[in-house]
Structure 1
Amino acid sequence: MPASPDKLPFTEAIDFFKQKIRLPSSGWTDIWQEQHSHAFIVAGAAHDALVEDLFNAIQKAKWAGGGYDEFKQSFQDIASKYGWAYNGTPGWRSKIIYDTNITQAYNAGREKQMQAVKHLRPYGVYRHTSTEHPRLHHLAWDGLILPLDDPWWDTHSPQNGWGCKCKKYSLSRLEASREWPKNGKTGPDEAPPIEWEERVVGKNGSNPRTVRTPVGIDPGFAYNPGKAWLEPHTVPPLTGYNAALKERGTPWPTGFKPPALPIPTTVPADIVLPASTAPVVAVTDLLDVFGATLDQGVAFTDAAGSTLAISKALFIKGEDKGGDNFKWLAEPDKIDRLRYINLMAMSIIEPDEIWWDWEKDASEPGNWRLKRRYLRAFDIDGSGKFAISVFEWSRAGWSGATTFTTSKLGYFDRQRKGRLVYKK
């Protein structure tokens, strides 16, 4: 028998968890079903830093620490650190978060293994493992044997509800033939008919919705977590984030058509500032676009629903303290970026695309940080040249760059990395 989800001995489950994009959310209905195979959210955790810490806490507790007991303590510490007012008691909420994420990672990892050897083990068997307070529908499916490609598994592959411990295992033709006579069968079962019902979920949250769910399945669980992971391009847009959730590797995945390149925005040549522009003037121009000043910053919500703090502090580094001293930007290798500060502002406010990628945190081994990348293409009027503006933001800091090309947008395409969360 395979190891329990608490052990997670195989890399497929670990890979499933690590590939998830971490999304701030206002409620658990912000994303739905298959989207959870590509996104990590904690209902009500609405800030990047909070979501990052919760994700890293699960990862450390599972693969480098003391399991749930360690996560439970980390959960309480993180909630206190951010003053997070979550719903439910600490023990109940931390258990739900931990168990659901680990169990679904286990199920997705097993699905990948089963699909890899499907030519040798073509059948799947449903196993109901709960002995205390069994769910009658789940109990009725115990022992059901169907081909792994049967559409029934698309909606009924475990986990099938909050706290559900049911399992799905693969069988060879010989193993299946030995099971059928035990149930008076000579071949695979027929998939049970699926009865659908409408349920309203998230009534007291930020994003209530009416959903169609098979009877016996908790709302939000009527999908195959492994299949959604292995077939990412079938995933619908993320509700509340206008996200395409299409992933790019290098090269593009087989059979995946990359998003069309954007049509560059035509801008006047004088949008590029003179090289002699003083740093304080350039910074003031950018802040003014966002409604901020040198004395007062603002919180800006981007096109994907995430928040950035826009203030003069973005341009103060190291020994620059207070005032309007932007001598860091006046350094020879930094001053050139000020010429394109207007393009950078336009890229943040109205990007062609926003990509989210994750990088290892060099200062804290084992942790990961979210990096947002804002891309926009410009046609500099009268010059015959394109300008590609790239703005990257993370908790560790930001970087901005503008590269001029002649007649192609190949540079834009090379900047597409991670997951596309917004496309104009």
Structure 2
Amino acid sequence: MAKLTDEEMMKMMESADNAVTGEGPATMAESNDGIAPLTVRKLMIIGCGDGGCNIATAIARKIPDETFVIAYNTSKRNVNEIVCDMKVYVTSDADEKIVDGSGKSRAYSKDAFKLNAYKNLLETVNIGLEKMPDISYIIVCTTTDGGTGSGSSPMVAKLLSDNIDVPVLLMGVYPSMDEDAIAQYNALEWQSEVERIGVPYFVLDNNQHGMEKPKVHAAVNNQGAMIASLLAGREFGNSSISIIDNRNLYMLLVQMGGRLVAAIDDARPSSGQTLDDYVMAMLQKNYQPEPSNVKGIGVFIKGSRELLDKMDTSIPEVQKKYGNAVLRFAHIENSDSVEIAVLLTGCSEAAPRLLEMKNRYDDIVHAQKEAASVIGDVMSGMKNLLGDPRSSKRRGEAKEPDISALDL
């Protein structure tokens, strides 16, 4: 997808200002270029590996009518737990048997995908697009610390981006800092490949202090499902004030690209709480690394007229902290219920989090080296004070054993 020039970006900024203030052409009418401002979209979800299939399942359960889900894996062990429309497995080329997992080997996962799985997956995606032809986005879901999903998901995203005329997004999950060195290394390799292929991506994070692992996984999967629901348009409805239509969302996600961050909450703002304060609180407790160098902002807010009048959707303090956006859109909806969301796009990589993983990896490797060298240092200059028992003689002269008994 071609990126916008600076001149085009400035024109988009003027358009964005109109969208934020509700000025310009009526937001509910079809625009001059024929693009209708629909808010409900269909998504294709592709789960890669066990963790990715778990996220895909959470999304399928959250928005079943808006999704077509494909599960891709190198193992059938958790097949009964997966909610999906179609499945793709890796098979050995010789006997067509299902390959049973890839451990934590990204290289093995890549080789398996190159062998024959890529053809099967591409064919399955095309079948899915025939069954649900109005799909707006393909989201490839994965954890980044293991083998199958971590190794194959960047390849899957690039393959589809190169061959399918539907925008592709990635959604990956970083490992906890408690995980081993291989997990940290795999995640860093995944990040490196994602940067190279240039597909826009969300990053969720399992590194949540004070939470048990199963609860973290459930919360992170639910966060992924909420993001998909936001993109599908299920969290907010049509509005006569201002909406983020299909083109606005496309510009935020695809034209801005880079790392994407989304936060959603339905708690009513406290008395005197600004939208800036509310959004920053959401981002702090979000299961994602904090945004940085933000280029695009989408603000979604629904509530009473009184609440809407108090909300500054330009969120200047958020921009001051995380980056001044060149493109802004707002969805403003009058409603009896309250819900607020923010979509921050074009973000740079989560550098502090990546450095944490690198330091964790280095600490483990350094500890291994210390363990190997300590015994050498300790034993240096020491000897067995009893002498070598092998040199002491047994009763009488040393001689070869009599093995004649073996002839019996």
More helix by share: 2
TM-score by length of 1: 0.23
| TM-score, normalisation: structure 2 | 0.24
Greater relative contact order (Cα 8 A, min sep 6): structure 1 or 2? 2
Highest CA radius of gyration, 1 or 2? 2
